[in-house]
Chain A
Amino acid sequence: MASSSSSGLTFKLHPLVIVNISDHYTRVKSQLSLPPSLTSTSSAATSNNNNNNSNGGENNQNPPPRVYGCVIGVQRGRTVEIFNSFELIYDPSTRSLDRSFLEKKQELYKKVFPHFYVLGWYSTGSDAQESDMHFHKALMDINESPLYVLLNPAINPAQKDLPVTIYESELHVIDGVPQLIFVRSSYTIETVEAERISVDHVAHLKPSGGSAATQLAAQLTGIHSAIKMLNSRIRVLHQYLVGMQKGDIPCESSLLRQVSSLLRRLPAIESEKFQDDFLMEYNDTLLITYLAMFTNCSSTMNELVDKFNTTYDRHSRRGGRTAFI
Protein backbone atom coordinates (compact mmCIF):
# COMPACT_ATOMS: atom_id res chain seq x y z
CA MET A 1 0.00 0.00 0.00
CA ALA A 2 2.85 2.35 0.69
CA SER A 3 4.89 3.78 -2.09
CA SER A 4 6.72 7.06 -2.08
CA SER A 5 4.76 10.28 -2.01
CA SER A 6 4.69 12.67 -4.90
CA SER A 7 2.99 15.66 -3.39
CA GLY A 8 6.18 17.61 -2.83
CA LEU A 9 5.35 18.65 0.70
CA THR A 10 8.15 18.74 3.24
CA PHE A 11 7.28 17.54 6.68
CA LYS A 12 8.88 18.63 9.90
CA LEU A 13 8.12 16.64 12.99
CA HIS A 14 8.73 17.86 16.54
CA PRO A 15 9.91 15.40 19.20
CA LEU A 16 7.01 16.47 21.42
CA VAL A 17 4.60 14.65 19.13
CA ILE A 18 6.59 11.43 19.27
CA VAL A 19 6.86 11.61 23.05
CA ASN A 20 3.12 12.30 23.34
CA ILE A 21 2.17 9.32 21.18
CA SER A 22 4.45 6.94 23.03
CA ASP A 23 3.23 8.26 26.37
CA HIS A 24 -0.39 7.73 25.35
CA TYR A 25 0.38 4.20 24.20
CA THR A 26 2.33 3.38 27.38
CA ARG A 27 -0.44 4.67 29.61
CA VAL A 28 -3.06 2.60 27.86
CA LYS A 29 -0.92 -0.49 27.79
CA SER A 30 0.02 -0.26 31.46
CA GLN A 31 -3.61 0.33 32.42
CA LEU A 32 -4.60 -2.77 30.50
CA SER A 33 -2.06 -4.91 32.27
CA LEU A 34 -3.52 -4.11 35.69
CA PRO A 35 -5.09 -7.05 37.65
CA PRO A 36 -8.27 -8.27 35.99
CA SER A 37 -10.76 -6.94 38.55
CA LEU A 38 -9.54 -3.42 38.02
CA THR A 39 -9.07 -3.77 34.28
CA SER A 40 -12.67 -3.93 33.22
CA THR A 41 -13.74 -0.95 35.30
CA SER A 42 -10.67 1.27 35.00
CA SER A 43 -9.85 0.89 31.35
CA ALA A 44 -13.36 1.68 30.22
CA ALA A 45 -13.62 4.68 32.49
CA THR A 46 -10.18 6.18 32.53
CA SER A 47 -8.52 5.33 29.27
CA ASN A 48 -9.08 7.87 26.60
CA ASN A 49 -9.91 5.41 24.02
CA ASN A 50 -11.76 2.19 23.64
CA ASN A 51 -9.75 -0.84 22.84
CA ASN A 52 -10.60 -4.43 22.50
CA ASN A 53 -10.70 -5.32 26.16
CA SER A 54 -8.86 -8.48 26.86
CA ASN A 55 -10.50 -10.75 29.34
CA GLY A 56 -8.73 -10.97 32.66
CA GLY A 57 -5.80 -13.28 32.69
CA GLU A 58 -4.28 -12.81 29.27
CA ASN A 59 -2.44 -9.59 29.69
CA ASN A 60 0.40 -9.78 27.26
CA GLN A 61 -0.94 -12.26 24.85
CA ASN A 62 -3.51 -10.10 23.13
CA PRO A 63 -2.35 -7.84 20.35
CA PRO A 64 -1.13 -4.56 21.81
CA PRO A 65 -3.81 -1.87 22.00
CA ARG A 66 -3.99 0.75 19.31
CA VAL A 67 -4.25 4.33 20.38
CA TYR A 68 -5.64 7.13 18.27
CA GLY A 69 -5.27 10.85 18.36
CA CYS A 70 -4.94 14.06 16.44
CA VAL A 71 -1.84 15.95 15.35
CA ILE A 72 -1.84 19.71 15.08
CA GLY A 73 0.58 22.17 13.64
CA VAL A 74 1.18 24.82 11.03
CA GLN A 75 1.29 24.65 7.27
CA ARG A 76 3.26 27.38 5.53
CA GLY A 77 3.34 27.00 1.79
CA ARG A 78 4.83 23.62 1.06
CA THR A 79 6.24 23.03 4.52
CA VAL A 80 4.13 21.25 7.06
CA GLU A 81 5.36 21.52 10.62
CA ILE A 82 3.75 19.26 13.21
CA PHE A 83 4.05 20.72 16.66
CA ASN A 84 1.72 18.96 19.06
CA SER A 85 -0.84 16.21 19.44
CA PHE A 86 -3.73 15.15 21.62
CA GLU A 87 -5.72 12.00 22.16
CA LEU A 88 -9.07 11.12 20.64
CA ILE A 89 -11.83 8.75 21.52
CA TYR A 90 -12.37 6.31 18.70
CA ASP A 91 -13.92 2.91 18.66
CA PRO A 92 -12.57 0.84 15.77
CA SER A 93 -15.25 -1.80 16.13
CA THR A 94 -18.12 0.61 15.65
CA ARG A 95 -16.02 3.11 13.71
CA SER A 96 -17.45 5.97 15.69
CA LEU A 97 -15.39 9.04 16.29
CA ASP A 98 -16.38 11.20 19.23
CA ARG A 99 -16.89 14.47 17.40
CA SER A 100 -17.92 16.62 20.33
CA PHE A 101 -14.74 15.73 22.19
CA LEU A 102 -12.67 16.53 19.14
CA GLU A 103 -14.35 19.88 18.70
CA LYS A 104 -14.01 20.82 22.34
CA LYS A 105 -10.31 19.97 22.28
CA GLN A 106 -9.86 21.93 19.09
CA GLU A 107 -11.46 24.97 20.65
CA LEU A 108 -9.24 24.74 23.73
CA TYR A 109 -6.09 24.45 21.65
CA LYS A 110 -7.17 27.28 19.40
CA LYS A 111 -7.32 29.58 22.41
CA VAL A 112 -3.76 28.86 23.38
CA PHE A 113 -2.23 28.37 19.94
CA PRO A 114 -4.29 30.36 17.49
CA HIS A 115 -2.14 29.40 14.51
CA PHE A 116 -2.33 25.66 14.89
CA TYR A 117 -4.64 23.62 12.71
CA VAL A 118 -5.58 19.99 12.80
CA LEU A 119 -3.15 18.52 10.31
CA GLY A 120 -4.04 14.87 10.67
CA TRP A 121 -4.10 12.00 13.05
CA TYR A 122 -1.84 9.40 14.61
CA SER A 123 -2.00 5.79 15.60
CA THR A 124 0.28 3.00 16.74
CA GLY A 125 1.00 -0.27 15.04
CA SER A 126 3.53 -1.80 12.76
CA ASP A 127 2.00 -0.94 9.42
CA ALA A 128 -0.83 1.06 7.95
CA GLN A 129 -3.99 -0.96 7.59
CA GLU A 130 -7.17 -0.86 5.54
CA SER A 131 -9.31 0.04 8.56
CA ASP A 132 -7.25 3.17 9.08
CA MET A 133 -8.70 4.56 5.88
CA HIS A 134 -12.09 5.00 7.57
CA PHE A 135 -10.63 7.19 10.26
CA HIS A 136 -8.71 9.02 7.58
CA LYS A 137 -11.87 9.73 5.62
CA ALA A 138 -13.64 10.80 8.78
CA LEU A 139 -11.02 13.46 9.33
CA MET A 140 -11.20 14.65 5.79
CA ASP A 141 -14.01 17.02 6.59
CA ILE A 142 -11.74 18.93 8.99
CA ASN A 143 -8.67 18.93 6.76
CA GLU A 144 -8.91 18.02 3.07
CA SER A 145 -5.69 16.08 3.05
CA PRO A 146 -4.90 14.81 6.52
CA LEU A 147 -1.63 13.21 7.52
CA TYR A 148 -1.34 9.85 9.15
CA VAL A 149 1.51 9.50 11.65
CA LEU A 150 2.24 5.92 12.56
CA LEU A 151 4.41 4.92 15.51
CA ASN A 152 5.66 1.37 15.81
CA PRO A 153 5.84 0.63 19.55
CA ALA A 154 7.81 -2.59 19.13
CA ILE A 155 11.29 -2.04 20.48
CA ASN A 156 13.88 -3.22 18.02
CA PRO A 157 17.41 -2.74 19.34
CA ALA A 158 18.96 -3.25 15.94
CA GLN A 159 16.97 -0.46 14.36
CA LYS A 160 18.89 2.74 13.83
CA ASP A 161 16.21 5.26 12.97
CA LEU A 162 12.92 6.26 14.52
CA PRO A 163 9.98 3.85 14.11
CA VAL A 164 7.78 6.73 12.99
CA THR A 165 6.34 6.98 9.49
CA ILE A 166 4.18 9.67 7.97
CA TYR A 167 1.61 8.71 5.35
CA GLU A 168 -0.38 10.88 3.04
CA SER A 169 -3.42 9.87 1.08
CA GLU A 170 -3.46 9.96 -2.67
CA LEU A 171 -6.11 9.16 -5.17
CA HIS A 172 -4.81 6.33 -7.34
CA VAL A 173 -6.65 4.43 -10.00
CA ILE A 174 -6.48 0.75 -9.15
CA ASP A 175 -8.29 -1.75 -11.37
CA GLY A 176 -10.22 1.08 -12.93
CA VAL A 177 -11.57 2.28 -9.58
CA PRO A 178 -10.16 5.47 -8.11
CA GLN A 179 -9.19 4.70 -4.55
CA LEU A 180 -7.51 6.52 -1.77
CA ILE A 181 -4.36 4.78 -0.67
CA PHE A 182 -1.66 5.64 1.79
CA VAL A 183 1.72 6.68 0.48
CA ARG A 184 4.76 7.10 2.65
CA SER A 185 6.48 10.45 2.92
CA SER A 186 9.79 11.42 4.34
CA TYR A 187 10.14 13.86 7.20
CA THR A 188 12.79 15.65 9.19
CA ILE A 189 12.91 16.23 12.88
CA GLU A 190 12.83 19.84 13.96
CA THR A 191 13.47 20.87 17.55
CA VAL A 192 12.85 23.95 19.58
CA GLU A 193 15.51 24.66 22.21
CA ALA A 194 13.28 23.42 25.05
CA GLU A 195 12.67 20.14 23.25
CA ARG A 196 16.36 19.65 22.60
CA ILE A 197 17.21 20.14 26.26
CA SER A 198 14.58 17.67 27.46
CA VAL A 199 15.47 15.01 24.90
CA ASP A 200 19.13 15.41 25.78
CA HIS A 201 18.27 15.07 29.46
CA VAL A 202 16.29 11.88 28.93
CA ALA A 203 19.03 10.42 26.77
CA HIS A 204 21.55 10.85 29.58
CA LEU A 205 19.17 9.59 32.24
CA LYS A 206 20.03 5.93 31.96
CA PRO A 207 23.12 5.40 34.11
CA SER A 208 21.98 7.52 37.06
CA GLY A 209 22.37 5.73 40.37
CA GLY A 210 24.64 3.17 38.78
CA SER A 211 27.94 2.31 40.36
CA ALA A 212 30.99 4.37 39.55
CA ALA A 213 32.08 1.93 36.89
CA THR A 214 28.91 2.21 34.86
CA GLN A 215 29.02 5.99 35.08
CA LEU A 216 32.58 5.90 33.85
CA ALA A 217 31.55 3.58 31.06
CA ALA A 218 28.72 5.91 30.06
CA GLN A 219 30.96 8.94 29.94
CA LEU A 220 33.61 7.09 27.98
CA THR A 221 30.98 5.91 25.54
CA GLY A 222 29.96 9.50 24.95
CA ILE A 223 33.52 10.56 24.25
CA HIS A 224 33.99 7.51 22.07
CA SER A 225 31.08 8.35 19.80
CA ALA A 226 32.17 11.99 19.53
CA ILE A 227 35.68 10.98 18.48
CA LYS A 228 34.27 8.45 16.05
CA MET A 229 32.37 11.20 14.27
CA LEU A 230 35.49 13.37 14.15
CA ASN A 231 37.40 10.39 12.82
CA SER A 232 34.98 9.77 9.97
CA ARG A 233 35.14 13.41 8.93
CA ILE A 234 38.92 13.49 8.95
CA ARG A 235 38.86 10.35 6.85
CA VAL A 236 36.65 12.06 4.29
CA LEU A 237 39.05 15.01 4.08
CA HIS A 238 42.00 12.68 3.79
CA GLN A 239 40.49 10.73 0.92
CA TYR A 240 39.55 13.95 -0.80
CA LEU A 241 43.10 15.26 -0.61
CA VAL A 242 44.57 11.97 -1.78
CA GLY A 243 42.20 12.00 -4.72
CA MET A 244 43.27 15.52 -5.51
CA GLN A 245 46.90 14.54 -5.39
CA LYS A 246 46.38 11.64 -7.72
CA GLY A 247 44.52 13.91 -10.06
CA ASP A 248 41.14 12.19 -9.87
CA ILE A 249 39.52 15.32 -8.53
CA PRO A 250 40.19 18.79 -9.93
CA CYS A 251 42.08 21.00 -7.52
CA GLU A 252 40.00 23.53 -5.72
CA SER A 253 42.26 26.09 -4.17
CA SER A 254 39.73 27.63 -1.84
CA LEU A 255 39.10 24.29 -0.17
CA LEU A 256 42.79 23.54 0.03
CA ARG A 257 43.39 26.84 1.70
CA GLN A 258 40.74 26.09 4.29
CA VAL A 259 42.18 22.64 4.95
CA SER A 260 45.66 24.05 5.37
CA SER A 261 44.44 26.66 7.83
CA LEU A 262 42.64 23.92 9.73
CA LEU A 263 45.70 21.72 9.89
CA ARG A 264 47.75 24.59 11.15
CA ARG A 265 45.64 24.66 14.30
CA LEU A 266 46.58 21.11 14.96
CA PRO A 267 48.97 20.62 17.78
CA ALA A 268 46.13 22.23 19.60
CA ILE A 269 47.71 22.57 22.98
CA GLU A 270 51.34 21.77 23.17
CA SER A 271 53.16 24.34 25.21
CA GLU A 272 55.18 23.52 28.28
CA LYS A 273 52.81 25.41 30.47
CA PHE A 274 50.00 23.10 29.48
CA GLN A 275 52.07 20.03 30.34
CA ASP A 276 52.89 21.46 33.75
CA ASP A 277 49.29 22.34 34.57
CA PHE A 278 48.05 19.03 33.29
CA LEU A 279 50.50 17.00 35.34
CA MET A 280 49.76 19.04 38.43
CA GLU A 281 46.04 18.47 38.13
CA TYR A 282 46.58 14.80 37.41
CA ASN A 283 48.71 14.42 40.51
CA ASP A 284 46.18 16.30 42.60
CA THR A 285 43.38 13.98 41.51
CA LEU A 286 45.47 10.91 42.24
CA LEU A 287 46.38 12.24 45.66
CA ILE A 288 42.77 12.93 46.54
CA THR A 289 41.71 9.45 45.43
CA TYR A 290 44.50 7.98 47.52
CA LEU A 291 43.44 10.01 50.53
CA ALA A 292 39.82 8.95 50.15
CA MET A 293 40.87 5.33 49.88
CA PHE A 294 43.00 5.69 53.01
CA THR A 295 40.11 7.13 54.98
CA ASN A 296 37.87 4.34 53.79
CA CYS A 297 40.37 1.68 54.77
CA SER A 298 41.04 3.15 58.18
CA SER A 299 37.33 3.37 58.99
CA THR A 300 36.80 -0.24 57.90
CA MET A 301 39.75 -1.25 60.04
CA ASN A 302 38.30 0.63 62.97
CA GLU A 303 34.96 -1.13 62.61
CA LEU A 304 36.68 -4.49 62.35
CA VAL A 305 38.65 -3.87 65.53
CA ASP A 306 35.52 -2.80 67.38
CA LYS A 307 33.65 -5.90 66.27
CA PHE A 308 36.59 -8.05 67.23
CA ASN A 309 36.69 -6.49 70.69
CA THR A 310 32.98 -6.91 71.32
CA THR A 311 32.90 -10.53 70.28
CA TYR A 312 35.98 -11.65 72.07
CA ASP A 313 35.43 -9.62 75.22
CA ARG A 314 32.10 -11.27 75.71
CA HIS A 315 33.81 -14.61 75.55
CA SER A 316 35.61 -14.13 78.84
CA ARG A 317 32.54 -12.92 80.70
CA ARG A 318 30.11 -15.39 79.30
CA GLY A 319 29.99 -17.50 82.37
CA GLY A 320 28.70 -14.69 84.57
CA ARG A 321 25.76 -13.68 82.40
CA THR A 322 22.51 -15.19 81.48
CA ALA A 323 21.97 -15.90 77.84
CA PHE A 324 20.49 -12.80 76.37
CA ILE A 325 21.22 -13.82 72.82
Chain B
Amino acid sequence: MEIEEKQAEVIDHFVKQVSAQKGSALGSVFVEATSHPSLFAFSEILAVPTVAELEGTDNSVHLEMLRLFAHGTWSDYKRNSGKFPQLVPDQVLKLKQLTVLTLAETKKVLSYDQLMRELDVTNVRELEDFLINDCMYAGLVRGKLDQLQRYFEVQFAAGRDLRPGQLGSMIQTLSNWLATSDNLLVTIQDKIKWADTMSELDKKHRKELEDRVMEVKKAVSVKTASRPILTSKGSMKSTLNLVE
Protein backbone atom coordinates (compact mmCIF):
# COMPACT_ATOMS: atom_id res chain seq x y z
CA MET B 1 0.00 0.00 0.00
CA GLU B 2 1.83 3.01 -1.26
CA ILE B 3 0.22 5.53 1.04
CA GLU B 4 1.44 3.72 4.10
CA GLU B 5 4.95 3.66 2.73
CA LYS B 6 4.84 7.33 1.90
CA GLN B 7 3.55 8.16 5.33
CA ALA B 8 5.93 6.00 7.31
CA GLU B 9 8.82 8.45 7.22
CA VAL B 10 6.66 11.44 7.98
CA ILE B 11 5.11 9.63 10.91
CA ASP B 12 8.51 8.78 12.33
CA HIS B 13 9.62 12.38 11.97
CA PHE B 14 6.61 13.73 13.78
CA VAL B 15 6.70 11.13 16.51
CA LYS B 16 10.26 12.14 17.26
CA GLN B 17 9.31 15.79 17.33
CA VAL B 18 6.36 15.16 19.59
CA SER B 19 8.29 13.06 22.06
CA ALA B 20 11.00 15.70 22.24
CA GLN B 21 8.68 18.53 23.18
CA LYS B 22 5.96 19.09 25.73
CA GLY B 23 2.94 21.21 26.57
CA SER B 24 2.02 24.16 24.41
CA ALA B 25 4.86 23.62 21.98
CA LEU B 26 3.05 20.46 20.96
CA GLY B 27 0.23 22.61 19.66
CA SER B 28 2.32 24.03 16.87
CA VAL B 29 3.68 20.58 16.05
CA PHE B 30 0.12 19.37 15.70
CA VAL B 31 -0.75 22.18 13.34
CA GLU B 32 2.31 21.32 11.28
CA ALA B 33 1.41 17.65 11.28
CA THR B 34 -2.18 18.18 10.25
CA SER B 35 -1.23 20.49 7.41
CA HIS B 36 1.41 18.16 5.99
CA PRO B 37 0.25 17.10 2.51
CA SER B 38 1.14 13.44 2.77
CA LEU B 39 0.26 12.65 6.36
CA PHE B 40 -3.11 11.03 6.94
CA ALA B 41 -2.45 8.85 9.92
CA PHE B 42 -2.34 10.27 13.38
CA SER B 43 -2.76 7.35 15.72
CA GLU B 44 1.00 6.91 16.15
CA ILE B 45 1.30 10.51 17.25
CA LEU B 46 -1.67 10.09 19.54
CA ALA B 47 0.01 7.11 21.14
CA VAL B 48 3.05 9.04 22.29
CA PRO B 49 2.82 9.53 26.08
CA THR B 50 3.61 13.26 26.03
CA VAL B 51 0.54 13.76 23.88
CA ALA B 52 -1.69 11.90 26.29
CA GLU B 53 -0.52 14.20 29.06
CA LEU B 54 -2.21 17.07 27.30
CA GLU B 55 -5.56 15.66 28.31
CA GLY B 56 -7.37 17.95 30.69
CA THR B 57 -4.84 20.74 30.59
CA ASP B 58 -5.20 24.09 28.90
CA ASN B 59 -3.84 22.71 25.73
CA SER B 60 -6.43 19.96 25.48
CA VAL B 61 -7.94 21.91 22.61
CA HIS B 62 -5.01 20.88 20.50
CA LEU B 63 -5.44 17.29 21.55
CA GLU B 64 -9.11 17.47 20.61
CA MET B 65 -8.14 18.83 17.24
CA LEU B 66 -5.70 16.00 16.68
CA ARG B 67 -8.39 13.53 17.65
CA LEU B 68 -10.75 15.23 15.22
CA PHE B 69 -8.26 14.67 12.46
CA ALA B 70 -7.74 11.09 13.48
CA HIS B 71 -11.37 10.03 13.64
CA GLY B 72 -13.73 12.87 12.79
CA THR B 73 -15.19 14.54 9.75
CA TRP B 74 -15.79 18.04 8.42
CA SER B 75 -19.36 18.05 9.72
CA ASP B 76 -18.08 17.24 13.23
CA TYR B 77 -15.88 20.28 13.00
CA LYS B 78 -18.68 22.51 11.80
CA ARG B 79 -21.03 21.37 14.51
CA ASN B 80 -18.60 21.96 17.37
CA SER B 81 -16.38 24.63 15.92
CA GLY B 82 -16.14 26.29 19.28
CA LYS B 83 -14.23 23.43 20.78
CA PHE B 84 -11.50 23.47 18.21
CA PRO B 85 -8.97 26.11 17.34
CA GLN B 86 -9.20 27.87 14.00
CA LEU B 87 -8.02 25.75 11.10
CA VAL B 88 -5.67 26.93 8.41
CA PRO B 89 -6.68 26.22 4.78
CA ASP B 90 -4.28 23.28 4.54
CA GLN B 91 -5.93 21.69 7.50
CA VAL B 92 -9.36 22.34 6.03
CA LEU B 93 -8.34 20.54 2.89
CA LYS B 94 -6.94 17.64 4.82
CA LEU B 95 -10.04 17.35 6.98
CA LYS B 96 -12.17 17.22 3.85
CA GLN B 97 -9.99 14.49 2.39
CA LEU B 98 -10.34 12.52 5.58
CA THR B 99 -14.10 13.03 5.43
CA VAL B 100 -14.21 11.40 2.01
CA LEU B 101 -12.33 8.45 3.47
CA THR B 102 -14.83 8.09 6.29
CA LEU B 103 -17.74 8.22 3.88
CA ALA B 104 -16.08 5.55 1.76
CA GLU B 105 -15.96 3.36 4.86
CA THR B 106 -19.68 2.91 5.05
CA LYS B 107 -20.87 2.81 1.47
CA LYS B 108 -19.28 1.83 -1.78
CA VAL B 109 -21.40 4.14 -3.89
CA LEU B 110 -21.41 7.75 -2.78
CA SER B 111 -23.93 10.07 -4.37
CA TYR B 112 -22.81 13.50 -5.43
CA ASP B 113 -25.50 15.14 -3.30
CA GLN B 114 -24.27 13.48 -0.17
CA LEU B 115 -20.69 14.37 -0.94
CA MET B 116 -21.60 17.96 -1.65
CA ARG B 117 -23.44 18.18 1.64
CA GLU B 118 -20.64 16.65 3.68
CA LEU B 119 -17.90 18.67 2.08
CA ASP B 120 -19.72 22.00 1.81
CA VAL B 121 -19.22 22.17 -1.91
CA THR B 122 -21.89 23.78 -4.04
CA ASN B 123 -21.32 22.70 -7.57
CA VAL B 124 -20.48 19.43 -9.23
CA ARG B 125 -17.45 20.80 -11.03
CA GLU B 126 -15.76 21.80 -7.80
CA LEU B 127 -16.64 18.47 -6.23
CA GLU B 128 -15.15 16.52 -9.09
CA ASP B 129 -12.01 18.64 -9.11
CA PHE B 130 -11.61 18.06 -5.41
CA LEU B 131 -12.12 14.34 -5.77
CA ILE B 132 -9.79 14.01 -8.68
CA ASN B 133 -6.97 16.28 -7.66
CA ASP B 134 -6.94 15.92 -3.94
CA CYS B 135 -8.18 12.41 -3.36
CA MET B 136 -7.30 10.29 -6.34
CA TYR B 137 -4.00 11.80 -7.31
CA ALA B 138 -2.94 11.73 -3.68
CA GLY B 139 -3.59 8.01 -3.79
CA LEU B 140 -6.23 8.04 -1.09
CA VAL B 141 -9.07 6.60 -3.11
CA ARG B 142 -9.47 4.79 -6.37
CA GLY B 143 -12.79 4.58 -8.12
CA LYS B 144 -15.07 5.63 -10.94
CA LEU B 145 -16.94 8.91 -11.26
CA ASP B 146 -20.31 8.59 -12.94
CA GLN B 147 -21.48 12.05 -13.86
CA LEU B 148 -24.73 11.06 -15.52
CA GLN B 149 -26.04 9.16 -12.54
CA ARG B 150 -24.21 11.48 -10.17
CA TYR B 151 -22.39 9.01 -8.06
CA PHE B 152 -18.86 8.04 -7.17
CA GLU B 153 -18.10 4.36 -7.02
CA VAL B 154 -15.27 3.58 -4.64
CA GLN B 155 -13.03 0.66 -5.46
CA PHE B 156 -10.31 1.29 -2.97
CA ALA B 157 -9.99 3.71 -0.08
CA ALA B 158 -7.04 4.09 2.24
CA GLY B 159 -7.58 3.27 5.86
CA ARG B 160 -8.13 5.87 8.52
CA ASP B 161 -6.99 5.56 12.08
CA LEU B 162 -8.92 2.97 13.95
CA ARG B 163 -11.44 3.86 16.53
CA PRO B 164 -11.20 1.61 19.59
CA GLY B 165 -14.34 -0.35 18.77
CA GLN B 166 -13.47 -0.96 15.16
CA LEU B 167 -11.03 -3.76 15.86
CA GLY B 168 -13.82 -5.99 17.04
CA SER B 169 -15.93 -5.42 13.95
CA MET B 170 -12.91 -6.00 11.70
CA ILE B 171 -12.31 -9.34 13.36
CA GLN B 172 -15.95 -10.19 12.85
CA THR B 173 -15.76 -9.34 9.16
CA LEU B 174 -12.63 -11.41 8.77
CA SER B 175 -14.16 -14.42 10.45
CA ASN B 176 -17.22 -14.14 8.22
CA TRP B 177 -15.00 -14.02 5.18
CA LEU B 178 -13.10 -17.02 6.46
CA ALA B 179 -16.31 -18.97 7.03
CA THR B 180 -17.59 -18.13 3.56
CA SER B 181 -14.41 -19.26 1.87
CA ASP B 182 -14.39 -22.48 3.93
CA ASN B 183 -17.93 -23.24 2.79
CA LEU B 184 -17.00 -22.44 -0.76
CA LEU B 185 -14.07 -24.85 -0.60
CA VAL B 186 -16.31 -27.62 0.69
CA THR B 187 -18.87 -26.92 -2.04
CA ILE B 188 -16.23 -27.02 -4.74
CA GLN B 189 -14.90 -30.29 -3.37
CA ASP B 190 -18.37 -31.79 -3.52
CA LYS B 191 -18.85 -30.58 -7.06
CA ILE B 192 -15.56 -32.17 -8.11
CA LYS B 193 -16.65 -35.45 -6.57
CA TRP B 194 -20.02 -35.20 -8.27
CA ALA B 195 -18.37 -34.57 -11.64
CA ASP B 196 -16.13 -37.61 -11.15
CA THR B 197 -18.98 -39.91 -10.12
CA MET B 198 -21.11 -38.77 -13.03
CA SER B 199 -18.34 -39.47 -15.50
CA GLU B 200 -17.84 -42.90 -13.91
CA LEU B 201 -21.54 -43.68 -14.27
CA ASP B 202 -21.50 -42.46 -17.82
CA LYS B 203 -18.55 -44.69 -18.69
CA LYS B 204 -20.22 -47.67 -17.09
CA HIS B 205 -23.44 -47.05 -18.95
CA ARG B 206 -21.59 -46.72 -22.22
CA LYS B 207 -19.69 -49.93 -21.57
CA GLU B 208 -22.86 -51.83 -20.74
CA LEU B 209 -24.44 -50.55 -23.92
CA GLU B 210 -21.49 -51.67 -25.99
CA ASP B 211 -21.53 -55.10 -24.35
CA ARG B 212 -25.19 -55.48 -25.21
CA VAL B 213 -24.52 -54.43 -28.79
CA MET B 214 -21.76 -57.04 -29.03
CA GLU B 215 -24.10 -59.71 -27.68
CA VAL B 216 -26.82 -58.81 -30.11
CA LYS B 217 -24.34 -58.80 -32.98
CA LYS B 218 -23.18 -62.27 -32.03
CA ALA B 219 -26.74 -63.48 -31.80
CA VAL B 220 -27.51 -62.04 -35.24
CA SER B 221 -24.46 -63.68 -36.80
CA VAL B 222 -25.56 -67.02 -35.31
CA LYS B 223 -28.96 -66.49 -36.84
CA THR B 224 -27.54 -65.61 -40.26
CA ALA B 225 -25.52 -68.80 -40.20
CA SER B 226 -28.73 -70.80 -39.88
CA ARG B 227 -30.75 -68.55 -42.16
CA PRO B 228 -29.51 -69.53 -45.65
CA ILE B 229 -31.55 -72.76 -45.24
CA LEU B 230 -34.72 -70.79 -44.65
CA THR B 231 -34.22 -68.31 -47.45
CA SER B 232 -33.50 -70.99 -50.01
CA LYS B 233 -36.74 -72.62 -49.02
CA GLY B 234 -38.43 -69.26 -49.31
CA SER B 235 -36.97 -68.64 -52.75
CA MET B 236 -38.07 -72.06 -53.86
CA LYS B 237 -41.56 -71.25 -52.71
CA SER B 238 -41.54 -67.96 -54.50
CA THR B 239 -40.27 -69.50 -57.73
CA LEU B 240 -42.96 -72.08 -57.46
CA ASN B 241 -45.51 -69.32 -57.00
CA LEU B 242 -44.25 -67.46 -59.99
CA VAL B 243 -44.31 -70.52 -62.09
CA GLU B 244 -47.83 -71.09 -61.05
Binding site for B on A (CB under 8 A): 211, 213-214, 216-217, 220-221, 223-224, 227-228, 230-231, 234-235, 237-238, 241-242, 244-245, 253-254, 256-261, 263-267, 270-271, 318-320, 322-323, 325
Nearest B residue to A245 via CB reads B167
B213 at the interface (CB under 8 A from A): no
Q: Report the separation of the CA atoms of residues A261 and B41 in the bound assembly, to the nearest whole angstrom.
A: 13
Query: Which of these binds chain A: B26-34, B110-118, B185-193?
Result: B185-193
With A220-B188, A322-B235 given, is the CB distance from A234 to B159 under 8 Å?
A: no
- B122-179 CB contacts (< 8 Å) to partner A: 155-162, 166-168, 170-171, 173-175, 177-178
**Contact A245 B171, beta carbon cutoff 8 Å:** yes
Q: Report the separation of the CA atoms of residues A318 and B232 in the bound assembly, to the nearest whole angstrom.
A: 11
Residues of B within 8 A of A267 (CB): 108
Q: Name the interface size band of chain B.
A: 35 or more
Smallest CB–CB gap between A263 and chain B, Å? 5
**Contact A227 B4, beta carbon cutoff 8 Å:** no
**Contact B231 A322, beta carbon cutoff 8 Å:** yes
Q: Report the separation of the CA atoms of residues A286 and B74 in the bound assembly, to the nearest whole angstrom.
A: 51
Q: Report the separation of the CA atoms of residues A238 and B161 in the bound assembly, to the nearest whole angstrom.
A: 19
Q: Is the interface of B mostly helix, strand, loop or mixed?
A: helix
B211 at the interface (CB under 8 A from A): no
**Contact B43 A253, beta carbon cutoff 8 Å:** yes
Q: Report the separation of the CA atoms of residues A271 and B108 in the bound assembly, to the nearest whole angstrom.
A: 10
Smallest CB–CB gap between A275 and chain B, Å? 15
Residue B192 contacts which of A224, A242, A319 (CB distance < 8 angstroms)?
A224
**Contact B167 A241, beta carbon cutoff 8 Å:** yes
**Contact A254 B192, beta carbon cutoff 8 Å:** no
B207 at the interface (CB under 8 A from A): no
Smallest CB–CB gap between A282 and chain B, Å? 16
**Contact A259 B159, beta carbon cutoff 8 Å:** yes
B214 at the interface (CB under 8 A from A): no
**Contact B8 A260, beta carbon cutoff 8 Å:** no
Smallest CB–CB gap between A77 and chain B, Å? 28
Smallest CB–CB gap between A245 and chain B, Å? 5
**Contact A230 B41, beta carbon cutoff 8 Å:** no
Smallest CB–CB gap between B104 and chain A, Å? 7
**Contact A253 B185, beta carbon cutoff 8 Å:** no
**Contact B173 A266, beta carbon cutoff 8 Å:** yes
Query: Which of these binds chain A: B56-64, B82-90, B194-202?
Result: B194-202
**Contact B167 A213, beta carbon cutoff 8 Å:** no
**Contact A234 B195, beta carbon cutoff 8 Å:** no
**Contact A319 B238, beta carbon cutoff 8 Å:** yes
25 A-B pairs, CB-CB below 8 angstroms?
A213-B202, A220-B191, A223-B188, A224-B192, A227-B188, A231-B185, A234-B178, A238-B175, A245-B168, A253-B41, A253-B43, A253-B162, A254-B11, A254-B41, A257-B41, A257-B160, A257-B162, A260-B159, A264-B159, A266-B173, A318-B234, A319-B237, A319-B238, A322-B231, A323-B228
Smallest CB–CB gap between A11 and chain B, Å? 31
Nearest A residue to B176 via CB reads A266
With A217-B195, A318-B234, A325-B224 given, is the CB distance from A238 to B171 under 8 Å?
A: yes
Closest 6 CB pairs between A and B? Answer: A257-B159, A213-B199, A261-B159, A323-B231, A260-B159, A253-B43
Q: Report the separation of the CA atoms of residues A254 and B234 in the bound assembly, to the nearest whole angstrom.
A: 100
